[in-house]
Structure 1
Amino acid sequence: MKAVAVQAFGSPEGLAVVDVVDPSPAEGQVLITTEAIGVGGVDAVIRSGALAAYGFSEGHILGGEIAGTVAAVGEGVDPSWIGQRVWAFTGVGGGYAEQAIASAETLIPLAATVSAVDAVTLGSSGAVAHFGLRHARFAPGESVLVRGAAGGIGIMAVQLAVRGGAGAVAVTTSSPERGDRLRKLGATHVLDRTGEGDKDAPTGYDVIIDIVAGTALPSFFAKLNPNGRMVAVGAVAGEPPADFATEMFAAFQKSLSFATFSANTVPVSDRRAVTAELFAAASRGELETVVHEVLPLEQAALAHQKMAAGEVFGRIVLTPSATG
């Protein structure tokens, strides 16, 4: 079968289409014929080689989120899954392929009202946004700032904060055009990447959901209210400086909090339940899935080039058939 692997760490040009042996599901696993494959920020980080020290090597097939049809099941898996359309989480790789393996415990059946493309646009991003807000102890009426709101997680964090009754939802983004689109999704204030640019925006926030991290992260501690909480759910700009907490300690009397959040710390059953509810909410028209573009699997490198250039609003989806 065809798959896309990291042939050389670094730029998107290091991705290549390869022929690999068809996978076979082991105990507790299923084999899925993919219809749609989500392209996420973590894919770009792995591709860059930044996580090589954590066991990722060249030859790795990217992709952690897929939707498609169950083609086979391993030992111990209910055979009634075969033929069902599902969303699945494949872990840290294996999804950029015509067929992929996933643990049966991650499967969520897809209703006819949820397309495969919408499923991989909403699935992981929605779960991270939901549990990230929960990790921040977000409560109705509180003000929220989403730093780096134009990607999949940010777009969902905006919508879920609005849905959860936030008093204000500010976003940082790179252009007025993106800001206008985020306002249509519920953002009440649009800021530039430094967190400035809207004179009517709150002077402080109860919660900051940060997808960016990077060198500018420490400057955002000054934008937290007393007892404010910042939660980093991503690091698309890389790690913060080693002394990033200095700014937080300088404001010791404000009792600020900082935390990282990974969905890996949430029980699979809880993730499945929340993701299924998000799919249902989207079906009811209560959440909007934002697809930047659908590209054929063979153009995975182009998808990563677009991400690296900052062109993407929402999510790029790959599909083996090049159709949505």
Structure 2
Amino acid sequence: MVKAVAVQTFGGPEGLEVIDLPVPAPAGGQVLVGVEAIGVGGVDVVIRRGALAAYGFAEGHILGGEVAGTVTAVGDGVDTSWVGRRVWAFTGTGGGYVEQAIAPVEEILPLPANLSAVDAVTLGSSGIVAHFGLSHAHFAPGESVLVRGAAGSIGIMTVQLAARGGAGAVAVTTSSAERGDRLRALGATHVLGRAGEGGEDAPAGYDVIIDVVAGADLPSFFARLNPNGRMVVVGAVGGQPPADFGTKMMAAFQKSMSFATFSAATVTEADRRTVRAEQFAAAGRGELETVVHEVLPLEHAALAHQKMDAGEVFGRIVLTP
């Protein structure tokens, strides 16, 4: 048997329970990974709350989408040379909060020797969303960028990539001066409050807004877009925006603003693999910083979610079996 964490009851973190499962066996095209590290993502929190139940997520669901560890077995049609190799693996929309995880072979990537399993799951998904989110916004060097909800792993990576990409300004929204200082060290040039207020000498408007939060306040940020500005929502940790949020855009019709959502599911596997390998190599060389808030045992998954709900997390919480 192996330990896993399932959402036995939708709602608060107390609905997470440690359960026993039979040791999984990889089917054709799959690998079995002996898990060393599990990334706790914002989507895990949204699923746990039951907000995505209408999309097929039911109670009993095992959370987690990314793990890192060592391949211990492979299914039919998979090269046996994978056995014994350290890999990052994407398990899908669940199945990651486990001691041994199943993943499709096309969704695994070898780890550089100088990158830990903990760092891999801190960067693996968030780096891809940050990279392609900026690309989806058609970000160009010299443009100003606002990252809304910058203290999470996606926001932190977006700040670093925008700064490395030659942004004219990188503003962030965050909840405290201390977090602002940490984000400045990662490349932010202006620190704003959660509502986008403050920030000495901050730009009056932005060419690109990358929004990890969504929620009720999303429409107010349209006013912070420059003419021809683009807002891309890459997460919804704050919940759904108001049903009529588009009226704010229509009120500023002459600014020619654009609004889009972005999911990494729309990026080809080959492109994700290429960029992820580049980012892993950059992190191994110290050119990208992986920010780990805390490492907790797998059985403390509920505590990890309590910290996420309380807004205490800067970077990523990682679970270890």
For the criterion TM > 0.5, the same-fold answer is yes
> Counterpart of 1:299 in structure 2: which amino acid?
H
- How far did residue 66 of structure 1 move? 0.3
Q: Deviations over 1:204-225 (max 9, x none)?
A: 0000000000000000000000
Q: State whether residues 141 and 165 of structure 2, in contact with CA within 8 Å, keep that contact through their aligned partners in structure 1.
A: yes
| Structure-2 residue corresponding to 1:136 | 137
Percent identity for Structure 1 against Structure 2: 79
Q: Deviations over 1:274-301 (max 9, x none)?
A: 1110011111111100000000000000
| Structure-1 residue corresponding to 2:84 | 83
5 Å matches for 1:51-200?
A: 51-200=52-201
**Residue 304 of structure 1: SS of its match in structure 2?**
helix
Q: Measure, in 2, the Cα distance between the counterparts of 1:30 and 1:130.
A: 27
Q: Measure, in 2, the Cα distance between the counterparts of 1:199 and 1:248.
A: 27
> Counterpart of 2:62 in structure 1: which amino acid?
I
| Structure-1 residue corresponding to 2:17 | 16
Alignment length (residue pairs): 320
Extract structure 1 runs of 4+ deviating beyond 2 A: none
Q: Measure, in 2, the Cα distance between the counterparts of 1:87 and 1:193.
A: 33
Q: Measure, in 2, the Cα distance between the counterparts of 1:199 and 1:288.
A: 26
| Structure-2 residue corresponding to 1:305 | 306
| Structure-2 residue corresponding to 1:231 | 232
Q: Measure, in 1, the Cα distance between the counterparts of 2:209 and 2:315.
A: 20
Q: Measure, in 2, the Cα distance between the counterparts of 1:286 and 1:248.
A: 38
Q: TM-score, normalising length from structure 2?
A: 0.99
- How far did residue 198 of structure 1 move? 1.1
> Counterpart of 2:81 in structure 1: which amino acid?
S
Q: Deviations over 1:73-106 (max 9, x none)?
A: 1111111000000001000000000000001001
Q: Measure, in 1, the Cα distance between the counterparts of 2:96 and 2:254.
A: 47
**Residue 269 of structure 1: SS of its match in structure 2?**
helix
**Residue 307 of structure 1: SS of its match in structure 2?**
helix
Q: TM-score, normalising length from structure 1?
A: 0.98
Q: Structure 2 regions of 5+ residues with no counterpart?
A: none
- How far did residue 117 of structure 1 move? 0.1
Q: Deviations over 1:208-263 (max 9, x none)?
A: 00000000000000000000000000000001000001111111111000000000
**Residue 68 of structure 1: SS of its match in structure 2?**
strand
- How far did residue 107 of structure 1 move? 1.1
Q: Measure, in 1, the Cα distance between the counterparts of 2:216 and 2:59.
A: 28
Q: Measure, in 2, the Cα distance between the counterparts of 1:169 and 1:221.
A: 17
- How far did residue 24 of structure 1 move? 1.0
RMSD (CA atoms): 0.5
**Residue 238 of structure 1: SS of its match in structure 2?**
coil
Q: Measure, in 2, the Cα distance between the counterparts of 1:119 and 1:231.
A: 25
- How far did residue 199 of structure 1 move? 3.1
| Structure-2 residue corresponding to 1:3 | 4
> Counterpart of 2:37 in structure 1: which amino acid?
A
Q: Measure, in 2, the Cα distance between the counterparts of 1:266 and 1:67.
A: 21
**Residue 249 of structure 2: SS of its match in structure 1?**
helix
Q: Deviations over 1:137-158 (max 9, x none)?
A: 0000000000000000000000
> Counterpart of 2:111 in structure 1: which amino acid?
L
Q: Measure, in 2, the Cα distance between the counterparts of 1:248 and 1:58.
A: 37
